[in-house]
Amino acid sequence: MIKDTRNSLKFNKMLEYIFKLKVKLLNTKYYEDISNIDHRAKLLFETYNKSNTVKQEVTKQLKGQRKQNNFLKYKAFIEKEEGT
């Protein structure tokens, strides 16, 4: 999942809703279930926060293309030098 503002807001709303529900179900038999859901949601959110943004993904791809272009320029230069 690519990190952007819309997804971050959705995660924050979901975690806020789970927290309110957890408080509401504090002394019931469902507390353990909601705690399990809360734990899994937090793990998913941590994984999401470690992912790259769209800008970071594009920058990474551009860096790879620059390296490839530089290699091809060098290769063309070497072939030109060998030809003369």
Confidence check: pLDDT of 26 > 70: yes
Confidence check: pLDDT of 1 > 70: no
Residues 59 and 36 in one domain: no
Supply the pLDDT for residue 57. Answer: 73
Domain extent, residue 60, equals 53-84
Residues 59 and 42 in one domain: no
Number of folded domains in the chain?
2
Mean pLDDT, residues 55-79? 76
Residues 61 and 21 in one domain: no
Residues 73 and 61 in one domain: yes
Its sign, for the CA torsion 52, 53, 58, 63, is negative
Residues 62 and 81 in one domain: yes
Mean pLDDT, residues 47-72? 76
Residues 3 and 44 in one domain: yes
| Lookup result for tokens 């530089």 | 70
